[in-house]
Amino acid sequence: MFLNKLLSGAVALSVAAAVSYAAPAVRFNVADGNVEEAYNKLVNEKINSIGYVLSDPHERINDGYAEKYGATNLDNLGFMSVTNDEGLRELLIADPRIGGFSPFNLHIYKLKEENKTYVGHIVPETMLDIVGVQDKKTREGFVALFPSLDELVQKEIGGKVGISEYTALPEQPMMEFTISFDRPEAIEDYVDEFQEGFEELFEEKKYIIAGYKNFRETYDDLEQDFDKYDAYFVYSLCHFQFSDGIFNMNAKATKSARPDAGAFAPCSMYMYIEKDTNTMHVGMPKLENWIKVMNIKDPAKVKSILGLDKEIIGMMKSLGAKVK
């Protein structure tokens, strides 16, 4: 499934639609056997030693698929949202769009039919291309957060490294919005009210708020400067039925499942308000990136993915968001 090929950093500097040649997509360590135990130790304990933090663990999603939809072809599917908090601070200040992959999933999956486990993540250059970060220093800073993680995964999980490729991103890889508001005396009042409405709407439409990372609070706790923003938080969004249709071979499925695309899940939607302003900026990588980066061809899956993009944009508009 994966090409054992690392491409040069220069290739990845090409942005979005301009990319017309192979670029690295997702890096997986492919280990023999079931390495669930080693993976759990990695994400729950060892990852802290290199500055990464696990924020919202969702282990063994496959059990949920089996329970809710009656069948699964997976022995394991886990979404583990991780960030390198201290390493990200300056980068988020430099370009808040990095929140589109902060946190990101250190993904695990294992098929029942195969005695191998896959552990990995989207290649950082691809994350940057999708969110649109072009500044060289910011890109280098973000990419530099990954070698220690990859080394740790190699040490704890082992196996051969495979990196898949893609040829082009969507024309518009991001959905981006602005929301203007009357600024109250305490900005938390607006944020609380917006979050309640946002969560209520998404839950009503059967989305799962799978994660929530409040960077402003994180850096306040660490007593580190993050004063550029009055608020900066990231929601991790998931739609269980949708995800079952992409990642899992349930009882009704006739086409191959794509658990590898779980590297994109859950979707990180960032929201920030710059200091003393009355506009909230919102952004999320479109799910359409899954089609392009993971080379998804099954028409049913393609339709489902594009449908979700459309629905999310519509929901954000209903909350008063204007498309950028």
Partner 1 sequence: MRKTLALIAAAFVLNFSGCGSSSATTDVKASELPTGEINTYMYAPYMDAAAVSAKLTEAGFEVLTVYKLKKIGTTVVFTNDAMKAMANKPGRAYAAISRIFIDEANQRISINNPVYFNKAYMQDEYDNDLSTALKGQLDTLFATNAVSMDKLDFGDLADYHYMMGMPYYADTDNLAEGEQAALVASVQAYNDKLVAKKKPAVQLFKIELAPNRVLLGMTIGKKTSKFPKKIGTHNGGVLPWLVVIEDGKAQALNGKFHVALSYPLLSMSEFMKIATMPGAVEKDLKKAF
Q: Which residues here bind partner 1, judged by CB under 8 A? A: 54-60, 63-64, 66-68, 192, 195, 199, 203, 208-212, 214, 221, 236, 238, 240
Task: Closer to partner 1 by CB, 74 or 321: give it.
Answer: 74
Min dist. Cβ of residue 199 to partner 1 (A) = 8
Min dist. Cβ of residue 134 to partner 1 (A) = 32
Cα separation of the two ends of the chain: 37
Task: Closer to partner 1 by CB, 23 or 82: give it.
Answer: 82
The DSSP string of 128-148 is HHHHT---HHHHHHHHTTSHH
Task: Closer to partner 1 by CB, 140 or 203: give it.
Answer: 203
Task: Closer to partner 1 by CB, 63 or 225: give it.
Answer: 63
CA 90 vs CA 110, 122, 130, 200: distances in Å: 36, 21, 20, 32
Min dist. Cβ of residue 323 to partner 1 (A) = 27
Min dist. Cβ of residue 272 to partner 1 (A) = 16
What strand order describes the sheet that includes 279-285? 207-214, 229-239, 267-274, 279-285, 174-180, 322-323
Q: Are 240 and 66 in contact (CB under 8 A)?
A: no
Task: Closer to partner 1 by CB, 114 or 203: give it.
Answer: 203
Closest CA to 181 of 271, 267, 284: 271
Min dist. Cβ of residue 269 to partner 1 (A) = 13
Task: Closer to partner 1 by CB, 233 or 290: give it.
Answer: 233
C-alpha–C-alpha distance, residues 272 and 260, integer Å: 30
Q: Are 118 and 260 in contact (CB under 8 A)?
A: yes
Question: Tokens representing 94?
Answer: 């430099």
Q: Are 168 and 19 in contact (CB under 8 A)?
A: yes
Min dist. Cβ of residue 66 to partner 1 (A) = 8
